[in-house]
Structure 1
C-alpha cells in the first residue's frame, strides 16, 4: 500500500506541476518574445522485489523551453533590417511631401516668378507688372529659405533620433550583460529569463542591426551590423554621440569600450540608427545640396542676365538676387592655420557634391568624403593659381596648412537658405535693352536691323553712340573704322553689343546705335530674362534650370518610393520569420486546452489512486482492530 500511495503521490505532484506549466503558457499568450514551455516526464527508478522490478511512479525531469536558435537568428536579422528600412521610409516620405506638395514645394513660386517676368516683357513700363515681379521674386526666395529651414529641422530630428536611440541601446546592452551574468552556464537558467534576454537582444538589434552569437556556457554576445561588439559575456560597451569634426551642429555615433572611444563609420550600424544615418547621407544631404545648387544657379544666371539690361533710371542693371557662395569648414583636429576662401568659378561644372580637401605636405588632394573616391583638382591655391574643383575656385587667403590638414567643401549646401532679393525698387528692374538701334531716315537700301544683343555688359564703351555706315552694298565702317566686308544676315559686334543686319543696304545708308535712356518702355532684356529658366546652364550646358527643379522632385520622390517598396518587402520577410518562430515557440490555445483536459483527467486519476490506497489502508486498520 505504501508503494501504491507513493506512486499516486508522485503522479499527483507531477500532473499538478504540468498543469502549472500549461497555465503559465496560457497566461503569457500575449507576452512579447515568450517561448512556450513543455513539461518533460520520466519514470522513477523501480524497486527490485526478487521477482523483478516494480515501478516507483513518475517525476518531472525538465520544463523545456520550446525555442530554435536558427529561427531566432533569422528573426533577429530581419528585425534589424526592417527597422532600418522603415526609418528610411518614414523620413524619405516626409521629404517627398515637402518637395511635391504645391503649398510647400518650389515649383509653384518658381513658375509664378518667371510668369511675372513674361508679363513684364509685354508691358515693360507698367508699374503694376514691375511690382508683381518683385512680389513673385520675394515669394520665391522666401520659399527657398523655408524649404532650407525645414530641411535643417529634419537634420535636427536626425540628431534627436540618434541621441534617443543611443540611450536605449546603452540601457538594453547593460541589461543583456546583466542577464548573461545571471544565466551563467545556462544549465539551470529559467526559460522566462532566456526569453527576456532574447527579447532585449531583438530590441537592441532593432536599433543597431547586427547579430547575436551564443558562446559556450549559454551566454550570448551581440555585435552591431559593422561587427562592433556591444555585449561580450557580462560586459557591455556603450555608444555615445559626438560632434562632427567639420560640422559641430551634427552628431555622429562613437563606441566606448575599455576606456577608448572610436567614431563609427556610418556604414557600421544598421537598424534604426543605421536608417537615420543612411537617410542623412543618401537622401537629406543630396536634397540640401541640389536645392542649394538650383538657388545658386538661379542667382548667378539671372544676375548675369539682369546686369545686361537697363533700368528705368537709365542705369545698367545690377544684381537682382544676393548670390549665395560655397562654404568650407576645417577639421577640428587641424594643426595648421590655413584659411581657404571658396567662390563659384564654373556653373556648368558645379555638381553640389561635398569634397574633402587634404594637404599632403606639398599638394592638395580632393576625395569624396563618403566613398573616398579621388576627385580631380588643379592649382596650388594661390591667387594667381587657385585650386579648382567641381566648378569651385579656392584661394588660400591666409595662414599655412600643416600636413594632413583637412577641409570639407560644401559647394551648395545651405545656399537655399541664404539667397535673398537684392533690389526693392521696381524701377531698378532692368527690363530694357541698354542699346537701341535705328536706321537713318535717309536710307535708300533695303537693309534691316535685327535685335541688339549685349555680349559684354561690362564694356566701358557699351553706351557710347556708334554709327554703322555703308560705303557700298558690300562694305561698311563703324565709327569711321574699317571698311569691313558685309554679308547679309551677319552679326556686327562692337563695344560689347552685337546686332544682325539683313537685306541690301545702299551706299551712304547709316544705322545708329546708342543708349536706350531712362523711362524706356523697351522690353528687350525682359524677354531674355523670361526664358532663363530654360537656359542650359547646368551639367556642362546639358541641363536647364527647369530640368533641375523637376529632377530634384523626381529624385526625392523616387528615393521615398524605393524606401517604401523595400520596407514592404522586408515586412513580408519579417512576417515569415515571425511565423516560423511562432510555429515553434508560440502558444497555441487549442493545443494548451487539449493538454489541460488531458492533464486534468490524469490528475483526477492520480487522486483516485491515492483515494484507493487510503480505502485499502483503512480496511486493513479496521481488520487489525478486531
Structure 2
C-alpha cells in the first residue's frame, strides 16, 4: 500500500471520527431536551478506495412505537378528563351538604310532626320551611350541574384553541421538512419536533396519521376529516349545538365550509369531555328532573284531595309541572330544520316518565322516528297506533299526524308532544324532546301558609290527619320508575359511583400502559450518558489513531524521498 493511500485512509478516518465525535457531543448536550431522539453515526467502508466514510446520521426512533405512544397519550387524557368531572359529580351527589336524600329525610320528618298534631300551626310552618329547604336543595344541585356544564364548555373551548395552535405548528414543521428534504439538509431535529408536537396534540384529540416520504405527516380526525395536510392546517371551531344552545360543540373549518364533527370525535381531553357530557352529565340532569317532577306531581295530587285548617279544599303545595313556560321549553328544534314549528310537551303521567331525552326525526314528510336517547329504544311511526283526531291521543305510543297541515301529536312514556308547523314537515327535520331535563330547576314551593296544608281528608273534622298520613306514605311509594323518591336518588348515586370507579380504573390502567411505552421509547430513543461517555472515548481513541496513521504515512513518504 502506498503512503498516498495510507494518507488518504487516515484523512478519511480523521474526518469520519470527527463527525462521530460531533454526534456524540450533540447527544450529550441534549440529554435533558424533551422529545430529543438519540443519534448514531452510520460508518461504512469506502469500496475500492479504502478507509471509512459517514453514510448517514441515524435518528434512533421507531415509528410504530411513536404512534403507540400518541394513541396511549390520547386514551389517558380522555380517561383523565372524564374521571375528574365524574369525581366532582359523585362527591356532589353523595355529600350530606348537597344530598337530596338528606333533605327529603328532613322534609318527611317535619311532615311526621304535622301528622302527630295536625292542628298545631307551628308544626305546619316547620313542615313548609322544610319543603322550602328541599326545593332549594333541588335548585342548588341543578345549579351545580349547570356550572359543571359551563366548566365543560370552557374546557372544550380552551382545548380547541390548543389544538389549533399545535396543528398550525405541525403544518409549519411539515413545510420545513419539505424544504429540507429537497435541499438535502439534515432533518433529524425537525422530525423530533414533529413527533413532540404530535404527542402534545394527542393529549387534546385523537387522530390518525399518514406519513409522507419526505418526512411530512398528514393528520386526520373524526371519520377521516383532514386536520393537517402538508403545510396547511384546518381550524377547529366551537359552535352552539344545533339543538341545545347551552352546549358547545366542535366543528371543522376547511376553507369556507364548516361542519360539526362532535359526534365523530374521540380520544384526548376533548373526547373525554364530550363522552362525559353525553353519558353522565345530561343523564344526571334528567334523573334529578325526573325525581323532582314526580315528587311535585304526587305531592300536589294528594294535597288537592284534603282539607286545610280552614276547611277549604287543598291547593297545590308545589308549582304545577305543566306551566306554559315549562311545556314550551321541553322541545328543542334543530337550527337546520327546513320548517319552523310551535311546540309543547305536557306531562300527562308523571309515573310513566323516563329519565331521558328523545330525538324525533322526520324520515319523509309523512313518517318519523322517535329514539329514547338513554337506551336507544326506537319507535318508527308505522309501529305506533295512529289516531285520526289529535284529541283522541290519550294513551302510550299513540299519535295523530296531519301531514298537509303540518301538525303532529304524539304520546309516549308519560308525556304528550305537540308540533304545529306553518307548513308540512320535510325529510330531515329534527327535534329533541327533554321532558325532565329542567324539572329540578322548575321545582318551586307554591303554598305560603301552614294553614293551607290540607292534612285532613274530605270527611270528618279539619283537625284529623288522614290526608297527612297519605302524604307521608308517599315517601315509600314506588312512583319513580318503579322506585321511591329516595330509592331512585340512591340508584343515581350508585350509577354515578360505579361510573366514577370504572373511570378511575381506566385512568390508572391507561396511565400504566402509557408509562410502559414511554419507558420503552426512552430506552430506544433516549440519551444514556454512560453509553455516550463510552462512545466518546471510543471515537476519541479512533481519532487519535487516525492522526497517528497520517503521521506514519508522512514518515514513510519522507523516508522514500530520502532514499531517492
TM exceeds 0.5?
Answer: yes
Partner residue, 2:404: none
| Aligned equivalent of 2:204, options 199, 203, 207 | 207
Q: Is the 8 A contact 2:355 2:374 kept in 1?
A: no
Q: Partner of 2:513: helix, strand, or coil?
A: helix
CA distance in 1, matches of 2:21, 2:377: 66
Q: Is the 8 A contact 1:378 1:388 kept in 2?
A: no
Q: Partner of 2:310: helix, strand, or coil?
A: coil
Count matched residues: 531
**Cα gap change, 1:133/1:615 in structure 2, threshold over 3 Å: closer, same or farther?**
farther
Quote the offset at 1:303 in angstroms.
0.9
Quote the offset at 1:234 in angstroms.
2.8
Partner residue, 1:435: 459
Quote the offset at 1:583 in angstroms.
2.6
Quote the offset at 1:412 in angstroms.
0.6
CA distance in 2, matches of 1:261, 1:86: 29
Partner residue, 2:275: 278
CA distance in 2, matches of 1:286, 1:423: 30
Higher helix share: 2
CA distance in 2, matches of 1:309, 1:63: 91
The answer to whether structure 1 residue 596 and structure 2 residue 509 are counterparts is no
**TM superposition score normalised by structure 1:** 0.79
Unaligned runs of 5+ in 2: 394-408
Q: Is the 8 A contact 1:267 1:274 kept in 2?
A: no
Q: Is the 8 A contact 2:457 2:466 kept in 1?
A: yes
The answer to whether structure 1 residue 424 and structure 2 residue 437 are counterparts is no
Q: Is the 8 A contact 1:331 1:407 kept in 2?
A: yes
Higher strand share: 1
**Of 381-390 and 561-570, the range deviating more from structure 2:** 381-390
**Cα gap change, 1:530/1:64 in structure 2, threshold over 3 Å: closer, same or farther?**
same
Quote the offset at 1:398 in angstroms.
7.3
CA-to-aligned-CA distance 1:343-397 (integer Å, 9 cap, x gap): 1112222102111224442355422458875236556683453420221112346
Unaligned runs of 5+ in 1: 48-54, 437-515
CA distance in 2, matches of 1:46, 1:231: 47
Partner residue, 1:390: 413
CA distance in 1, matches of 2:517, 2:222: 19
Pairs within 5 Å for 1:38-437: 38-44=40-46, 55=50, 57-184=51-178, 186=181, 188-324=185-321, 325=326, 327-359=330-362, 360-368=364-372, 374-375=378-379, 382-385=390-393, 386-396=409-419, 399-404=422-427, 405-436=429-460
CA distance in 2, matches of 1:567, 1:292: 30
**Cα gap change, 1:368/1:549 in structure 2, threshold over 3 Å: closer, same or farther?**
closer
**Cα gap change, 1:120/1:618 in structure 2, threshold over 3 Å: closer, same or farther?**
farther
**Cα gap change, 1:323/1:597 in structure 2, threshold over 3 Å: closer, same or farther?**
farther
Pairs within 5 Å for 1:442-453: none
The answer to whether structure 1 residue 527 and structure 2 residue 469 are counterparts is yes
Quote the offset at 1:618 in angstroms.
8.8
Quote the offset at 1:617 in angstroms.
8.1
**TM superposition score normalised by structure 2:** 0.87
Quote the offset at 1:614 in angstroms.
7.0
The answer to whether structure 1 residue 587 and structure 2 residue 524 are counterparts is no
Q: Partner of 2:259: helix, strand, or coil?
A: strand
**Of 61-70 and 185-194, the range deviating more from structure 2:** 185-194
Quote the offset at 1:191 in angstroms.
0.9
**Of 261-270 and 70-79, the range deviating more from structure 2:** 261-270
**Of 229-238 and 363-372, the range deviating more from structure 2:** 363-372
CA distance in 2, matches of 1:283, 1:183: 44
CA distance in 2, matches of 1:396, 1:42: 79
CA distance in 1, matches of 2:240, 2:490: 34
Q: Partner of 1:256: helix, strand, or coil?
A: strand
Q: Partner of 2:390: helix, strand, or coil?
A: coil
The answer to whether structure 1 residue 561 and structure 2 residue 501 are counterparts is yes
CA distance in 2, matches of 1:110, 1:268: 40
Quote the offset at 1:193 in angstroms.
0.5
CA distance in 1, matches of 2:375, 2:239: 21
CA-to-aligned-CA distance 1:171-198 (integer Å, 9 cap, x gap): 2222222222221285644111001111
Quote the offset at 1:107 in angstroms.
2.0
RMSD across aligned positions (CA): 2.7
Structure index of larger Rg? 1
Q: Is the 8 A contact 2:283 2:374 kept in 1?
A: no
| Greater relative contact order, per chain length (Cα 8 Å cut-off, separation 6+) | 2
Q: Is the 8 A contact 1:296 1:416 kept in 2?
A: yes
Q: Is the 8 A contact 2:339 2:421 kept in 1?
A: no
Q: Is the 8 A contact 1:266 1:274 kept in 2?
A: no
Pairs within 5 Å for 1:472-487: none
**Cα gap change, 1:103/1:378 in structure 2, threshold over 3 Å: closer, same or farther?**
farther
Partner residue, 1:536: 478
CA distance in 2, matches of 1:226, 1:110: 47
